[in-house]
Amino acid sequence: MNYLNTSVKLFDHYKSTTEVFHYYGVLAIYALCRTAVQSGDEALKAKCVAELQRFPDHITKHSAYNFPSYRIGGIARSYALYAELMTDEKTRKYVDHYADEMLVAQRDEQGIMSHPYLPETQRIWIDCAMAITPYLLFAGLALKNEQYVDEGINQTLLMYDAFLNKSTGLLHQSRGFCGQMQFSTDYWGRGQGWGIIALTELMQDLPKDHAQYETCKKYFVDHCK
């Protein structure tokens, strides 16, 4: 099986059914960008750029996103800058602006980015690791801003520690959505699935000489056991 071709076909099927945006659309475009870079296909790279150029002005209707970076294409736009698929000044400004926004976003008592509209609930959820860590990692590497990289790492490690169920070794998906400060029990697709995305991206692109590389590697290995 040609996995790169399958990846493109999956994206094309998705796009044939609906407008591609919001967090699941952003994740799909990110996968397409990874596929384009891996394949070296210039036409596919151009397709990725065309998808991202729709953001923010040519999306039919933006939602009330939990992460404002989704308005510009989220982790896909940040990766496109890092991978030099898009090096225009607008992209640089967009990515920098929303990375800076993440540094001051709402957080819970542990310092984890929390629900932006209900701060008193201290709701946190592992899906955020996908939205935050790769975005800040790629932004920091592209813009040479170590603070972005470090905070991206920090958020995933804090979330991993907060959500880890030590009796099972699995991650809870959320806290506070099913009762005050109560953890959910949907471990696999949501807890483990979202959790591994951030750790995988750190392992792929965090420089090996970074002070936190070995720590991130340990978290990744433990997660995969």
Domains of the chain, by residue range, sit at 1-97, 105-225
Give the Cβ contact number of residue 207 at 10 Å.
Answer: 8
Contact 126, 191 (CB under 8 A): yes
Q: pTM for the full model? A: 0.95
Report the number of secondary-structure helices (H) and strands (E) in the chain: 9, 4
Q: How far is the C-alpha of 198 from the C-alpha of 67, rounded, in Å? A: 16
Tell which residue, 225, 208, 132, has the closest CA to residue 171: 225
**124: alpha, beta or left? (left if phi > 0; alpha if psi -120 to 50):** beta
Using the predicted structure, report yes or no on whether residue 143 has a pLDDT greater than 70.
Answer: yes
| pLDDT digit string, tens, across residues 19-64 | 999 999 999 999 999 999 999 999 999 999 999 999 999 999 998 8
Higher pLDDT, 116 or 136: 136
pLDDT of residue 188: 67
Q: How far is the C-alpha of 150 from the C-alpha of 140, rounded, in Å? A: 9
